[in-house]
């Protein structure tokens, strides 16, 4: 499939959006807030735009997961616990998206973008909360009630991730903080790997369902890889507080535009 009037101008827009999203994800997250509305702008239906955005950002997400491979050994017990519910939840979320009537999803789009933006805005509050948690120790492991609750919460996050996706990393960090994690590298490893699995299982279902606009996805994916690579270089030089402020402003502006388009 190809969007109406796909040409060099649209390709440049998509590549630029992908590059910005890859840069954002490398530094602070929130790339879907750019890729999803851009795909709608160039003419894709909203559900197909969401599915295509998921596929387009997969290469950069995979690169992030590979980057944490040295930490996998420490989190194997937690992966055994969270991977099954993440895969199942991601698949259910993808199925729910495909089964959602287009008009209903169009109505939901502004609210989804606003919700993801609010999650992004709350990131610093989550960080302060996580910083106040006590580290997991061998003497005081998390209770079974907390573990079961976290598994259920991760399942819900995975369903949301398969359905829309933006902000799942923040939700997962909050859950891990409640469990008592203190090592931010282990937390990020879990977050990135589980996020990739949620997205990949949803993406496979989207592909099988024929929702992906491949020219747009490939162009955007190339931009995302370039942006992600550049972001790894700039992440240490750009003040993250300033970047988060810009991303938050982008999210609020886009949600306002989407509300206007949908309800005006």
Cβ-contact 53, 64 below 8 angstroms = no
Does residue 2 form part of some domain?
Answer: no
DSSP conformational letter for 28: T
pLDDT in tens, the chain (264 residues): 555 667 889 999 999 999 988 877 776 667 888 899 999 999 999 999 999 999 998 887 777 667 667 777 878 888 888 999 999 999 999 999 999 998 888 888 788 878 877 876 776 666 555 555 544 443 456 667 777 888 888 899 899 989 987 777 777 877 776 666 666 667 778 888 888 899 999 999 999 999 999 999 999 999 988 887 776 566 556 665 666 677 678 778 878 877 887 777
**Number of domains the chain is built from:** 1
Tokens, residue 239: 């003040």
DSSP conformational letter for 4: T
The pLDDT value recorded for residue 182 is 63
The pLDDT value recorded for residue 35 is 92
Provide the residue range defining the domain that includes 217.
Answer: 8-263
The pLDDT value recorded for residue 219 is 95
Residue 4 zone, left/alpha/beta (φ > 0; ψ -120 to 50; rest): beta
Does residue 3 form part of some domain?
Answer: no
The pLDDT value recorded for residue 236 is 55
Residue carrying structure tokens 């949301």: 160
Report phi then psi at 164, rounded to 5: -135, -55
The pLDDT value recorded for residue 135 is 43
CA distance 203 to 193: 15
CA-based Rg of the chain, rounded to a whole angstrom? 18
The pLDDT value recorded for residue 238 is 62
Does residue 237 form part of some domain?
Answer: yes
CA distance 21 to 114: 17
CA distance 147 to 165: 23
Does residue 74 form part of some domain?
Answer: yes
């Amino acid at each position: 499939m190809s969007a109406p009037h796909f040409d060099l101008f649209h390709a440049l827009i998509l590549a630029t959006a992908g590059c910005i999203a890859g840069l954002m994800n490398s530094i602070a997250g929130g790339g879907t807030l750019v890729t999803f509305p851009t795909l709608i702008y160039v003419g894709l239906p909203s559900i197909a735009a969401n599915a295509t955005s998921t596929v387009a950002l997969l290469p950069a997400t995979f690169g992030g997961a590979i980057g944490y491979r040295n930490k996998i050994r420490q989190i194997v017990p937690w992966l055994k616990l969270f991977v099954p519910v993440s895969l199942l939840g991601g698949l259910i979320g993808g199925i729910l998206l495909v089964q959602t009537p287009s008009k209903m999803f169009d109505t939901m789009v502004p609210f989804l973008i606003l919700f993801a933006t609010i999650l992004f805005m709350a990131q610093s509050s989550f960080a302060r909360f996580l910083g106040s948690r006590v580290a997991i120790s061998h003497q005081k492991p998390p209770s079974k009630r907390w573990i079961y609750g976290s598994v259920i919460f991760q399942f819900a996050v995975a369903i949301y991730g398969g359905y829309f996706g933006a902000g799942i990393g923040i939700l997962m960090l909050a859950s891990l903080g409640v469990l008592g994690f203190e090592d931010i590298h282990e937390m990020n490893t879990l977050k990135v790997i589980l996020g990739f699995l949620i997205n990949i299982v949803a993406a496979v279902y989207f592909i099988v369902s024929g929702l992906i606009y491949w020219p747009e996805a490939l162009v955007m994916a190339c931009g995302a890889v370039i942006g992600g690579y550049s972001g790894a270089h700039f992440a240490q030089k750009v003040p993250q507080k300033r970047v988060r402020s810009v991303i938050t402003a982008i999210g609020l502006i886009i949600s306002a535009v989407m509300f206007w388009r949908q309800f005006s």
